Amino acid sequence: MRLFEFAFCSNYDKKIQWLSGLCPEKWSFGSSSDNIILKNYVDHTFSKLYEENKVLEKDEYAVFNTGLYSEYYETVYAYFKQNNNANKQKWFLDGFYTEYQLASLGVSDKPYRANYFMNPADLVFDTNCEIVPQYQHIFGDPENFLRLPDSIRNNPNKRMLFDGAIAHAKRMIDANYKNAVPQYYKGKIQLLIPICLINQQTPDLALVVSKNDLGNQYLGHTCLTLDMAYNNARLIAKPDSFWLKP
């Protein structure tokens, strides 16, 4: 279930802008002010909560926990009223409110936030495991191939350069485990690994890895642009890493 299927969301941009001020963070890429990161976060968070049966629906209202906090670490909720338009969705998105603001509306229900993992160990990269990239996809898939820097695409030694970038990424993670950033994809936790192909201090891509069934290797599935990687990672938490920023 998507948010816009569940509820009629009039003046959505204005309500998202309010939420961005309530939960101050950089919610747009570069110099943009479109709050695209926040929109993506809210939409995917709602879908996950609906899947977990954590969207609370009463006779007069519905509520879900956004998983976000105000600058004073107040939990922020999305609040819905019944939609007066019978030809539209059952619910109408009234806005985003803190726990205090909900209480002032007479709402005492406090649904839980989304749960993306059961084992905290899944969030930490095991540097004892090697990474086995799927080069047939990374280099062979046209969409994925275009994510590589121009100078790398046409380089006959791109496989060697990529192998070196993976070895460098493992050293970066060994120095600081936060450089492997978790993301949630199709019900599983994966890790985003910084890939520096041109400058060893500046990642160009994020390699998506997850452990094999035996748990003794990481499979490198695909590469994401840094914007794509940040969008995915932000669903779990704001990345605490020098290399993955909006």
Q: What is the pLDDT of residues 19-30, one digit of tens each?
A: 999 999 999 999
Count the domains in the chain: 2
Q: What is the pLDDT of residue 99?
A: 94
The verdict on residue 115 lying in a domain is no
What's the mean pLDDT in 218-234? 97
The verdict on residue 132 lying in a domain is yes
Coil, strand, or helix at residue 244? coil
The domain of 49 spans 3-104
Return mean pLDDT, the chain. Answer: 96
* Paired tokens of 9: 């969301």
Instruction: Identify any residues that bridge with 199 across adjacent strands, giving them in sequence order.
Output: 202
In this structure, the answer to whether residues 229 and 129 fall within a common structural domain is: yes
Q: What is the pTM of this model?
A: 0.94
**Domain end point (choices 104, 133, 148):** 104
For residue 150, the tally of other CB atoms under 10 A from its CB is 8
What's the mean pLDDT in 222-233? 97
What's the mean pLDDT in 71-79? 97
Q: What is the pLDDT of residue 88?
A: 87
Residues 6+ apart with CB under 8 A from 102: 63, 77, 79, 108
The verdict on residue 175 lying in a domain is yes
What's the mean pLDDT in 212-233? 96
In this structure, the answer to whether residues 78 and 180 fall within a common structural domain is: no
What's the mean pLDDT in 139-163? 96
In this structure, the answer to whether residues 129 and 75 fall within a common structural domain is: no
Residue pair 76/70 in contact by the 8 Å Cβ criterion? yes
Q: What is the pLDDT of residue 86?
A: 81
pLDDT(157) > 90: yes
The verdict on residue 198 lying in a domain is yes
- Residue 85: band (very low, low, confident or very high) from pLDDT cuts 50, 70, 90: confident
